[in-house]
Amino acid sequence: MDYVKDVLVSTDWVAEHKNDAGVRLIEVNEDILLYETGHIEGAVKVDWQGDFWTPVMREFIAPDELSAFLGRLGLKESDTLILYGDKSNWWASYAYWFLSYSGVKNLKLMNGGRQKWVAEGRELVTTPTKVTPTTYPALKRDESLRAYRDEVRAHIGKVESGEGAMVDVRSPDEFSGKVTHMPAYPQEGVLRGGHIPGAANIPWARATNEDGTFKSADELSALYGGEGVTPDKDVIAYCRIAERSSHSWFVLRELLGYPKVRNYDGSWTEWGNGVGLPIEKTYQDI
């Protein structure tokens, strides 16, 4: 079984084609200062929070603002955009999801991300990439790729009836309610630990190999199918703020071809603090 879509490129491919006309590299890291320490030649930087979120609201910038931003990066509608970053492409996947949601086409991920490129001893440069601004065309959002809080609440009934599935991609301790943060990360003010009722816990990292690349299509199909997350169901994925769930969304929709997969970007930071929202908690502090 092969991946359904041609949405991955190898580090070898990037090394060979990074200077081709119409190929543009975009680095998106959790550590927003990492790009300046060294990046692939020709890559431009995206700050996932500063560039994609509005400064006064927990919401994305408007489509026209995104078009203007992409134009400032010198990107064209016809370009093939190769996204990559740290943490096995967490934030590159988030950017892939957000750009897909916003209507941007011709997106791919560099399989293995920045960590694989560095592990292979490939060149990084510190020279800023020179760009020529463009006028990027208007964009239209695809709301079928995003889930909102009230839709997630209604979706619990679909999970119970067998029509839908919910995937919590966080660590088992987060899922159980033992902690409200990722391992080695600080607490972030969520009032309640646990998970959304009916969710299956399939941590995002189970979809990757040690070098950060994605597992085979057969392995991924068995992983999700074994937990009842099958292509016939309406699927919603979530984590803490949607970076890890974007990675799983990419696996399900782009690699396996599930027809209906949404990313709940509010995730546990919204749900765990939400008034009147039900949770399940399996951890017992004895």
Catalytic site positions:
239
Distance between CA atoms of 101 and 90, rounded to whole angstroms? Answer: 17
Distance between CA atoms of 47 and 51, rounded to whole angstroms? Answer: 5
76 C-beta neighbours (distance < 10 Å), count? 15
Report which secondary-structure segment, H or E, holds 264.
strand 261-264
210 C-beta neighbours (distance < 10 Å), count? 6
Burial bucket for residue 20 (CB in 10 Å: 0-12, 13-18, 19+)? exposed
| Planar angle of CA 209, 164, 265, nearest 5 degrees | 60
240: DSSP letter:
S
Distance between CA atoms of 26 and 84, rounded to whole angstroms? Answer: 6
Are 75 and 63 within 8 A, CB to CB? no
CA dihedral 269, 270, 271, 276 (to 10 degrees): 140
Which residues lie closer than 8 Å to 144 by C-beta, 6 or more apart? Answer: 260, 262
Distance between CA atoms of 185 and 269, rounded to whole angstroms? Answer: 14
